Structure 1
């Protein structure tokens, strides 16, 4: 079943690839929508069958390169299934949003179908080399999305994105090789390595392997000061490219910590957890303050991702600071971190789609070029208002559930760090409300000087744009009001992870 979920988008891409580019663009976009919708339904079936199971389900193991200890090993548990779910939902939203696209449609659709397979494959991989293959291929796919369909300085931004994240993947591979060499017998299987923890008690070697893996994952997350590739990549990427970059690809970094770094290197993680917590706190505050200084709406949203991912890193680091005590708080912190990954994907996805709607109408993301859009575009203003309040953690939405668990768990194990991170919520609220006020409220500006079409000819959200955004907001509302269906599987995985690291 999991193999069908992972490879269905790639199979649809292979079926569409022989069609000439002169075929109606709707053939490709509708094919993408159908593929993404079918995949989302299959993920729902997997979710219902998995339920709140404590261990791996839908596990499949096939030898791939047996002489090197590499296998096709896949499965899902409470830590990976929510990310598989949010990935399928975000790709479906992107497909619906792109249904009226007319430029370069064939290549665009094929790339996104390829990316969907890479992303789903990574979150189901239980072999380090399989994880690495999907990790690397996702970088290639996103590079072409930014370079081929981006705007402004798309070429340099795509190159910077590729070089940074590819360097991170090389560091990741070095760390994987270190784990492989330490294991007896040699293997890349994540489940077997988690049972053996081959680097426990290996001191410096364990620290070096954790450093290599951590560097690769921190670049991908990204965390200050390894984040500088992200703002230009988001600014120049197409709107749906930014949705996948922020909502899915960034989660590959944070997911790598809970799937690989923490359970496979528990001693080293506990020893250097203080450094992880420090990076988390700095990212929370830095991301919020720099986002507050931005005049470009899309760039502002990009920097809030540094802030939100900082909370995830803070939570995961705090788990290693109280080994042997405060077990309930540590489980709460892990649960909050995974919930934040899901929540950030949903809400930031809507914000980037709104940024795309702005640019499509006004030709710019500059907030100073817009004002009073609540008049001519009330639906746009309403969706933006709801998303803004949800994004800084108002009760009733997923952000509150995630941040409450993170801060409650971290306060019990790292109280000073949690206290230092608290102002980040206030700054985030201020910058998002300021953006809402500048774009949607106030009086309409005088006509000149404006980019062609900016602000004066703004039409409201089209049906496909609204259809892409509302399910994401609906999911965030459902998590905020009735979270148990999401928290139950995550908590089962969190209990297992906390037990594994001590």
Structure 2
């Protein structure tokens, strides 16, 4: 697809602003005292810039790459600094810039762990600087139109996540951070081999790594294409994460601070499924068709296995992590079933899940800070003590299990409808995952919030003003995506049109029917 040049370098600005702000915060110690308001202002400026950028994006042509910037970077290697967005990448960037100020507000009172004021300020400054740096890198990943640039940013974003988990997480944070890093680096090294091989199999030249140059022009054997596909897919499956390469996620989510979990599961893990859509589908179409049956089977295992393991968890954060394994199974299923309705649902699912899982992690974080533990059996009867917190937890959970009227319903409905159009067996297994989802949400809610309140928890305060302002935009977003998903569906449908094997005319009808129900 030919890119449409940006009137202004919006994407570069969205990368530079938080990255420069993070660097300034690290370089100027006097700013540490103002780290939290400073970072909040930067994140709100970033959100405002993204909304202004949105006015330059032509929704009628959301399937084409727009706001492009292309400059030579390493001419001898064919590497370009090439950015651009279509409807999907734009939606994911907007999700990211929406969540970052919420994460910063949620963490406003965290990391106050030392009596020495200077040390506390330095610790808080480090946290918010890492969040801003991560925001910049993830914007770059979603906007990259050069495979080499994508790879560099894909690996670079591991650094702030490692330090967010390893420096600010729970008692086993270093082990969890190292496990996350090792899994990701193994996937990245496999992908690096594929990146080099893709260039050698492509047309070469000064822009030899451009995705648009590589799509449809790889000169390789049947098995060569399949090996290239696997080199990318394995890295993306680890990042997503899919069964059986998912085991880093529960440990990381258990030890990470809630804000880091929001960015990790709500946004960063979407880089895996985004990579499948943005790179695997256009670059290796024949290999995708070859691998689809196995990938669909793995996705179905992820749906059911992730849900069943979530049911058996005692740790609340591990439970949410396993629900995400199940949800990513739905997304991957929608991508590889190759039906337009299902693929559109998978793309909408990426946005809807990001909002709902953010709300769930933050609500759970507010609860565990009050109770002093993440162990579910330690709680009971909390609804009587913290009714607002109980309500936000329930709404978030219902959105995760795709209750009609909330964010998860329409995308899950589209994925299942599209799956049934291709395979009844796969559709039935996916529906079993929906049934399991009701159990893994309602059972912990019953254990934590109903029954007799433990004596040690009777004086626990409900959500304060700041915490309510954290949850309000997330609840509104879940309702908006549930009751009026049209803008997101319209943004990603043209992208699905160009990638799905089948392109039925019924997508609008299916989306409207799902919204109505």
TM-score bin (small chain): over 0.9
Contact 1:21 1:106 in 2 (8 A): no
What's the CA shift string for 1:63-90, capped at 9, x where partnerless? Answer: 0001101000000001211111111111
Give the superposition deviation at 1:44: 1.8
* Distance (whole Å) between structure 2 residues aligned to residue 269 and residue 39 of structure 1: 36
1:490 aligned residue (489, 492, 502): 492
Q: Secondary structure at the match of 1:212?
A: helix
Give the superposition deviation at 1:135: 0.9
Q: Secondary structure at the match of 1:17?
A: helix
1:443 aligned residue (452, 463, 472): 452
Give the superposition deviation at 1:426: 0.9
RMSD after superposition: 1.6
Contact 2:342 2:417 in 1 (8 A): yes
1:323 matched residue in structure 2: none
Q: May I ask how many residue pairs the two structures share in their alignment?
A: 480
Q: Secondary structure at the match of 1:469?
A: helix
| Structure 1 residues 250 and 499: CA distance shift in structure 2, 3 A | same
Contact 1:266 1:500 in 2 (8 A): no
2:94 matched residue in structure 1: 85
2:381 matched residue in structure 1: 372
Give the superposition deviation at 1:499: 6.5
* Distance (whole Å) between structure 1 residues aligned to residue 460 and residue 150 of structure 2: 44
The answer to whether the aligner puts 1:117 opposite 2:136 as a matched pair is: yes
* Distance (whole Å) between structure 2 residues aligned to residue 69 and residue 304 of structure 1: 41
1:452 matched residue in structure 2: none
* Distance (whole Å) between structure 2 residues aligned to residue 468 and residue 88 of structure 1: 14
1:177 aligned residue (161, 175, 196): 196
Q: Secondary structure at the match of 2:67?
A: strand
What's the CA shift string for 1:375-400, capped at 9, x where partnerless? Answer: 22111011111111111011111200
The answer to whether the aligner puts 1:468 opposite 2:470 as a matched pair is: yes
1:424 matched residue in structure 2: 433
* Distance (whole Å) between structure 1 residues aligned to residue 180 and residue 147 of structure 2: 23
What's the CA shift string for 1:395-433, capped at 9, x where partnerless? Answer: 111200110110111111122112112111111111101
Alignment of 1:368-407 (within 5 A): 368-407=377-416
The answer to whether the aligner puts 1:41 opposite 2:48 as a matched pair is: yes
Q: TM-score, normalising length from structure 2?
A: 0.90
* Distance (whole Å) between structure 1 residues aligned to residue 413 and residue 55 of structure 2: 26
Q: Secondary structure at the match of 2:71?
A: strand
| Structure 1 residues 21 and 232: CA distance shift in structure 2, 3 A | farther
1:30 aligned residue (34, 37, 50): 37
Q: Secondary structure at the match of 1:272?
A: helix
* Distance (whole Å) between structure 1 residues aligned to residue 500 and residue 336 of structure 2: 12
Contact 1:164 1:219 in 2 (8 A): yes
The answer to whether the aligner puts 1:70 opposite 2:79 as a matched pair is: yes
Contact 1:287 1:307 in 2 (8 A): yes
Give the superposition deviation at 1:500: 11
**Structure 1 spans left out of the alignment, 5+ residues:** 320-329, 448-454
The answer to whether the aligner puts 1:188 opposite 2:209 as a matched pair is: yes
Contact 1:97 1:468 in 2 (8 A): yes
* Distance (whole Å) between structure 1 residues aligned to residue 484 and residue 398 of structure 2: 18
1:324 matched residue in structure 2: none
2:321 aligned residue (287, 302, 305): 302
The answer to whether the aligner puts 1:246 opposite 2:265 as a matched pair is: yes
Give the superposition deviation at 1:23: 4.3
Give the superposition deviation at 1:99: 2.3
